[in-house]
Amino acid sequence: MKLIGYFRRFYFALFVSFVGNVMVGFLVIYLLKSKWYALLAAMGAAVALSAVLSRLFSDPIVRLSEVAKRISAGEFDNLFFRRSRFEVGELERAMERMSKYLRITFEKLSAKKSQISAVLSSMNEGVLAVNRDGVVILANPVIEKVLGATEPEIIGKTIREVVRNNEISDLIARALRSGERTREEIEVVQPFAGIFDAHAGPVLSEEREVIGVVCVLHDMTELRKLEKVRSEFAANVSHELKTPLTVIRSNVETLLGGAINDPAHNVEFVKKIDKHARGLSALIDDILELSRLESKKELGPFARLNLEEIVNRAIETVADKARQKEVAIIAECPGEEVLVNGIEDHLFRAVLNLLDNAVNYNNPGGKVSISCKRENGLVKILIADSGVGIGHSHLPRIFERFYRTDVARSRELGGTGLGLAIVKHVVSLHHGTVDVASEEGKGSTFTVTLPLISA
């Protein structure tokens, strides 16, 4: 309204100046007593004076119009105000104050937008916002990954156009209709496979009307995988515990049924009980060891270790078994210190498990070679055997818990099914890797790679 008042006064000033000029013209007519020349002179004077006054008032208006256009485009730098006189000058000063206020407001909004963008980008959850018409107005990088599209491809489109999963679209639609929070666990197959805990909450206006919905997707994929692994582990443990317990119980019942008084067989039953009790004890020990490795608790301190000493200790431990099976063990380690940073008991356990397997799954008259090689700041421990080997179909799962290529033979040899899983966890704990190369009937080679430390 104030701006309209400025323009009214501006046009009134022009009108007054024109009337004044005409009156001056008539005065000149009277003095000159020459009607036509006087009239022309008066009109010329009026036009000239009107042009001067018009320019005096219109130039600031044109200039302010250009400034207003720049402000509307968000340009606040190098705005020039001349501070003219009269009401136009007051208008310029008002616009200058307005531009400063708008600039501060614009900078605050830009800072807020940057903060919100930074928060959304750093979130592990996917965030998607739509307006009351179901048109996407916001999407963070996680949502872009889930939807398989970039932000420019998502913003401005309806939720049905950008979301291929009907469950997510329906969840958002329900929140828009009902104005209530909705939640559902949703499995996405493509373009990004995963399981998500989806929450959709309405955005309300001051009048409590639904003006949009914010949907948050929390990735539950790894948690569900972990739950599945735990469930399978519990089932496997139950099965592995049940087998020796059944044998022990059966032999105990046989002894109690009178076989204990049979000197020809009672010792045999006791030996079976002892064998399976030892196997049960080994299984429990391995389960506890694996639990400690996974939780990384009660592992003991890291220290500088000579890997060659650990290898020699493992060879001594399996030497008697190797002689009984007529398996030769050949060590090819350098005659100098091979230093690593590790936990001695766990590294020894890992090397021993691999060496013990190489002997157990070998053939009479076979051989096992173990060597240590330095390579680009790393040490590689290679344990190769000439045994039965592993089929290619088994190799991808060989380090899984309770996975056996030959269940009967593994149990006969006293294996718990956890040895290689323990090896993998120990090596990972020491920032290393373990790999296997094998062919059925031609033996296996396990390679453990660990980082070296300087002497």
Q: Are 157 and 137 in contact (CB under 8 A)?
A: no
List residues bridging with 305 in a β-sheet: 340
Which two tokens mark 306? 């000579």
Q: What is the pLDDT of residues 104-116, one digit of tens each?
A: 887 787 778 777 7
pLDDT value of position 27: 54
Taking the alpha carbons at both ends of the chain, their separation in whole angstroms is 85
Backbone conformation region of residue 414, classed left if phi is above 0, alpha if psi is from -120 to 50, else beta: left
**Among 143, 114, 116, 115, which Cα is nearest to 127's?**
143
Q: Are 402 and 236 in contact (CB under 8 A)?
A: yes
Distance CA 222, CA 302 (A): 30
Q: Are strands 194-204 and 339-342 parallel, antiparallel or unpaired?
A: unpaired
Which two tokens mark 91? 């208008």
pLDDT value of position 405: 72
Domains of the chain: 2-110 (no CATH), 123-219 (3.30.450.20), 224-298 (1.10.287.130), 299-455 (3.30.565.10)
Distance CA 171, CA 185 (A): 10
List all residues 6 or more positions away from 9 whose beta carbon is below 8 Å from its beta carbon.
Answer: 87
- Cα 332 to its chain centre, rounded Å, is 44
Which two tokens mark 199? 């929450």
**In the β-sheet with 210-219, what is the strand arrangement from edge to edge?**
136-139, 126-131, 210-219, 194-204, 182-188
Residue 450 DSSP one-character state: E
Which backbone phi and psi does 60 adopt, to 5 degrees?
-60, -35
| DSSP line for 317-375 | HHHHHHHHTT-EEEEE--SS--EEEE-HHHHHHHHHHHHHHHHHTSPTT-EEEEEEEEE
Successive 10-residue mean pLDDT values, the chain, 455 residues: 48 54 55 54 60 60 70 65 60 74 79 74 81 88 82 85 84 89 85 84 87 89 82 76 82 82 80 83 82 78 89 91 90 80 91 91 89 88 89 85 68 72 91 90 91 80
Distance CA 230, CA 198 (A): 24
Q: What is the pLDDT of residues 243-263, one digit of tens each?
A: 778 888 888 888 888 877 777
What are the b/e assignments for 265-303, b being 16+ CB within 10 Å?
ebeebeebbeebeebbebbeebbebbebbeeeeeeeeee
pLDDT value of position 449: 93
Distance CA 334, CA 375 (A): 13
Q: Which pTM was predicted?
A: 0.56
Largest CA distance in the chain: 163
